[in-house]
Amino acid sequence: MTGPHFQVLFQSKSSPARRGRLRTPHGCIETPAFMTVGTAGTVKAMDPVDLKNLGAEIILCNAYHLFLRPGHEFIQKRGGLHPFIGWDRPILTDSGGYQIFSLKGFCKISEDGVTFQSHIDGSQHFISPEKAIEIEAALGADIIMAFDECLEYPAEQKRTQESLQRTLRWAARSKSAHHRKDQMLYGIIQGGVYPDLRKQGVEGLLNLGFDGFAVGGLSVGEPQEEMLKVLEAVVPLIPENKPRYLMGVGTPGDLVEAVLRGIDMFDCVMPTRHARTGILFTSRGELHIKHARYKTDDLPLDPACDCYACKHFSRAYLRHLFIAKELLAIRLNTLHNLYYYLSLMSKLRQEIAQGTFEAFRHNFYQNRALGI
């Protein structure tokens, strides 16, 4: 690709919020963007046509899961992820660092990399920064992530400092192993909730040079105010011409607040995972469809929503499907939640471009305060 990968189209005059466009070999991504999570090469209960109809421009797949099953070499022989899963739009792959380090008691960290047991069959594996890049290169995503170490919350400062330095050394090795010019490589900023360590993390990655920068190590149990403090310390240090990605976040309120602070990209399993447990996002907050109060409720799930589920079915019917454990319940719930998230991001882009983001943010919270 020639020319800049990322372009800021509109910059808010009252905040760091911005509207941008990210170019990839498989198409452009309008930012701020939410990436639907297709961990194992599929967004649960959705097919590629569903996702396109919902407005999804990019999905996230996980290198750790695809490495274990069906295997990165297996996928590479079939042309890479795009043809294998039938998705011709952009893909980002996470290196799997978070998944590996979440296997408490089943992994051993060394300077070389991580030895871990598969959550599938208990078999032993080893991933180094070089191996992670090899896996991601074989998968062929448009955007790939450097291998990093993610800590739990809270973690003491000394341990966080040691982990940060290892992450920076691994970032350098990831960068050296990266050779595919059609793949953008993002560095991951670690440093816990310590502003001075986060600053070190940004400076270390800037010295190495990456196509984009992700804020990692959040959405691990910290209060929202801690997360926002980290963003306020980190985002101003990231060059304006580079995309900023907040990993694993989050609630609709998290998205609005992070966009306000200048974040461009997000991913989270929340809309799909919540859909499977009957928790649905609406303009007035979360609705738990299994509650008895909806048994005879003939209103749409969210009267302000234009998704297929809201335009055609009542809360009473959606509750019936969920209580009866019908597969259609999961499909309709997922369709609605993803529509809500993707429409929210579209609205945020529009409001930033029009210079009305602050007014939208005020109305967003005012509507949620009304309740279901």
Pick the catalytic residue: 94, 254, 264, 302?
A: 94
Strand partners, 10: 19
- Which H or E run includes 85? helix 81-85
Q: How far apart are CA 251 and CA 223, in angstroms?
A: 12
Say whether the peptide bond before residue 154 is cis (omega within 30 degrees of 0).
Answer: yes
Residue 196 falls in the annotated catalytic set: no
Question: What's the DSSP call for residue 300?
Answer: B
Q: How far apart are CA 243 and CA 26, in angstroms?
A: 17
Taking a C-beta distance cutoff of 8 angstroms, is the pair 224, 254 a contact? yes
- Which H or E run includes 158? helix 157-177
Q: Is 52 strand, coil or helix?
A: helix
Pick the catalytic residue: 142, 148, 264, 267?
A: 267
Q: How far apart are CA 181 and CA 142, in angstroms?
A: 10
Residue 267 falls in the annotated catalytic set: yes
Q: Would you name the residues annotated as active-site residues? A: 94, 267
